[in-house]
A and B are shown apart, each in its own frame.
Chain A
Amino acid sequence: MTVKVVYCGICSFPPEYCEFGGAFKRCKEWLEKKEPELFQKLYSVEALEKATSSLSIEKQEEIERKIQKDQKKNEARAERELANKLSSKIYVKRIERNKRKHVIAISGLELCGIDMKKLAKVFASKFATGASVTKTADGKDEIVIQGDVGDEVETYIVDMLEEKGLDDVKVEQVAEKPKKKKPQV
């Protein structure tokens, strides 16, 4: 009884609504590759002819033009976002707490679409330490892990990014030393 609906991998709509999704061109390419049958059904010449609706031609053209304009805008935005994503960096910061004790703070994850809370939990159970999500001074979230586990964290994040197909995001380790107290005169 359940109906299985295919959803577009680009705009997440059912493919017949892709034309309203804002990335029509990419949607079409995706559909042609993944669901050739459906593509035939939706975009063959006959289907397109049949789809001309009861609206007057002028009105339809106007709407079509508007949609195309929106699409261009949306595509540009999507591209910009992607570029932004790829140029971003993830920082694994090692902060000295007390001479030999360190905590690790990971920032810059928010662009990769990762659930920070869940990841913190994963780290906590993986390293058997405390790990939490805290807000930094500039209002961004970061994961703070107790213990000197910078290298392990780095390899884990790199693997995770690879799985997600975000190989271009760089992961960088930095060390932060506490400011030295000025010697009292």
Chain B
Amino acid sequence: MPNAMFKKFSREEVHSRSNIKSSVQRGLKAKLIEQFPGLESVIEEAMPKKSQMVQIKCSDKVTLYSINSEVLFFQSFDDPLVPTIKFVHKYPEAFPRVKVDRGAIKFVLSGANIMCPGLTSPGASLPESPGLDVGAVVSIYAENKEHALAVGVLTMSTEDIKSINKNCGVEVCHYLGDGLWNFSE
């Protein structure tokens, strides 16, 4: 998953959009539940059986999935599906979360990856052990804030982040105010 892949993103990068088959949609749903078990109880509400999902293909092998012209998920090539922030805001319970301290917010909002100290300082928090593994998709929260400000992929397991506490811990792929956030059909 490239870092801050939507930093520059606009309507021009959309190559094609097509309605997807309901069977494919079902498959996608199953994949989502497998990836985020917390979603199971709300998936019917988020993606009703009768809804028509639209697949939007963009440059660099990025694919967006939207319902009712609202992008819910995106995917780069065959990487795991990643929810958009708007979707995380709607169903915050469904996704694993990490929390950064206040000093990091500014940098995250300009698309920087999150360094370990920003995740281990007093204002921040990580899931309890056993924690999450490398490559897990996490929603990123901030100190004293209620809502998520970014989504990213772990480049270290959370236990490693705690013990090593150096270098990049989370790769941010989508954050408040980036191209995808401002994208509308």
Contact = CB atoms under 8 A, between A and B. Distances in A.
B102 A55 contact: yes
A20 interface: yes
Chain B, interface SS category: loop
Nearest to B94: A1
A67 B177 CA distance: 15
Contacts, number: 67
A63 interface: yes
Interface residues of A, number: 23
Interface string A76-103: 0000000000000000000000000000
For A4, A17, A66, which residue has the most chain B Cβ atoms within 10 angstroms? A17
B126 interface: no
Contacts of A17: 105, 109, 145, 147, 149, 176
Chain A, interface SS category: loop
Interface stretch (A46-54, A124-132, A146-154): A46-54
B61 interface: no
4 A-B pairs closest in CB distance: A53-B102, A5-B89, A54-B122, A54-B123
Given A14-B89, A14-B146, A59-B103, 19 more contacts: A1-B91, A2-B42, A3-B90, A3-B91, A5-B147, A11-B177, A12-B181, A13-B176, A13-B177, A14-B147, A17-B147, A21-B177, A50-B144, A54-B102, A54-B121, A54-B122, A54-B143, A55-B102, A60-B102
